[in-house]
Amino acid sequence: MRSGFSTRVWLVVFALAAAVVSRPAAADDRQACLEGSKAASAETIAACTRAIQSGDYNDQNLANLYHARGYSWSWTSFSDRDDRALADFTAAIRANPKSGGSLLNRSHIYNQRRDYDRAIADVNQAFEAGLSDYGKRVGYGERGHAYHGKGDNDRAIADFTASIQLNANDSFAIMARGSAYFAKGDYDRAIADYNRVIALDPEYAREYSARSGRAIAYLLKGNFRRAFADVDQGQALSWLATIVFLAALVWLCCRGGARAFGWRSGRTIIEMCEQQLVDLRHTNAALEKIAAAIEKRSSG
């Protein structure tokens, strides 16, 4: 009888000792998880996983662990790292629906997948939860990108403008707003934003082709001199070759007859071709200016 009682006492003692040891271990894992680095991504993810599985954390503390592990997947080379990150950010939001950082990171993944409605919904939820100025800039950028992807350029411009108001030197937001203006056909405002990016951050402008965007905007405005000032001779010749190819294709379409291409009825397609040729006649002056610009640039 005494032996059985002693055994139970020792089991309780061992259980208490294990609990005392496990809690500091879980605390260490939490710290290693939240203070992880790209250089130690595997160790960071392992520490986050142990802390999550310890059962010692809930609500915001648990959300922080999931968020840290979700972000850490971007440091790895796993082919499904985005799926793993999405799952962790979703778990963080489930633990605390006001996890603004996880909402913004998840919206970024949705944007990458062109799931723009979900991206917008996450940003809206993040704004409702409350964001720092930096978080607001990220939110405006992600939501603006989603609106631009949906073709709602007015709302995209409004969001990019709000981001710029928080940081006048935000090259991403200025470049993105320029692209939205371009998509609207507002080439003057697009050029103004491209100019601003080029002056503000030449390296960023070069990486994201601000000069090419400005050149196309000038070209569409009919300002060929400024357009070709922004491109090299190779790009100019490429543009000209494309225009000539399209012109030749339309000419063959009309001269060869629609049936040779297996398209619609002969009368319908020929009428379409003739209309295209009429349109092309209006571009003759433009082609001449392009050729002159190329010749002048190569000789200079």
| Lowest mean pLDDT, pick from 31-35, 162-166, 209-213 | 209-213
Q: What's the rounded Cα separation, in Å, for the pair 32 and 74? A: 17
Residues 6 or more apart in contact with residue 204 via CB below 8 angstroms:
171, 172, 175, 197, 210
**Using an 8 Å Cβ cutoff, are 41 and 72 in contact?**
yes
Q: What's the rounded Cα separation, in Å, for the pair 213 and 299? A: 25
The tens digit of pLDDT for each residue in 265-289 reads 444 544 555 555 555 555 555 545 5
| Lowest mean pLDDT, pick from 33-37, 82-86, 108-112, 164-168 | 33-37
From 233, 234, 227, select the one nearest 191 (Cα to Cα).
Answer: 227
pLDDT exceeds 50 at position 209: yes
Structure tokens at 62: 């648990």
What pLDDT score was predicted for residue 207? 85
Q: What's the rounded Cα separation, in Å, for the pair 57 and 31? A: 13
| Lowest mean pLDDT, pick from 120-129, 209-218, 284-293 | 284-293
The pLDDT confidence band at residue 238, using thresholds 50, 70 and 90, is: low
What pLDDT score was predicted for residue 225? 83
Helix axes 266-281, 233-256, angle to 10 degrees: 140
Per the model's pLDDT, the better-predicted residue between 19 and 213 turns out to be: 213
pTM of the predicted model, to two decimals?
0.71
Per the model's pLDDT, the better-predicted residue between 209 and 9 turns out to be: 209
The tens digit of pLDDT for each residue in 13-63 reads 344 444 444 455 667 899 999 998 889 999 999 999 999 999 999 999 999
Per the model's pLDDT, the better-predicted residue between 212 and 155 turns out to be: 155
pLDDT exceeds 80 at position 107: yes
Q: What's the rounded Cα separation, in Å, for the pair 208 and 210? A: 6
pLDDT exceeds 90 at position 160: yes
Residues 6 or more apart in contact with residue 134 via CB below 8 angstroms:
none
The pLDDT confidence band at residue 180, using thresholds 50, 70 and 90, is: very high
- Average pLDDT of span 231-238: 56
pLDDT exceeds 90 at position 172: yes
| Lowest mean pLDDT, pick from 96-110, 120-134, 230-244 | 230-244
Percentage of the chain lying above the pLDDT 90 cut = 56
Percentage of the chain lying above the pLDDT 70 cut = 68
Residue 209 falls in which region: left (phi positive, over 0), alpha (psi -120 to 50) or beta: left
**Using an 8 Å Cβ cutoff, are 212 and 230 in contact?**
yes
What pLDDT score was predicted for residue 151? 96
What pLDDT score was predicted for residue 182? 94
What is the residue-averaged pLDDT of the chain?
A: 80
What pLDDT score was predicted for residue 285? 52
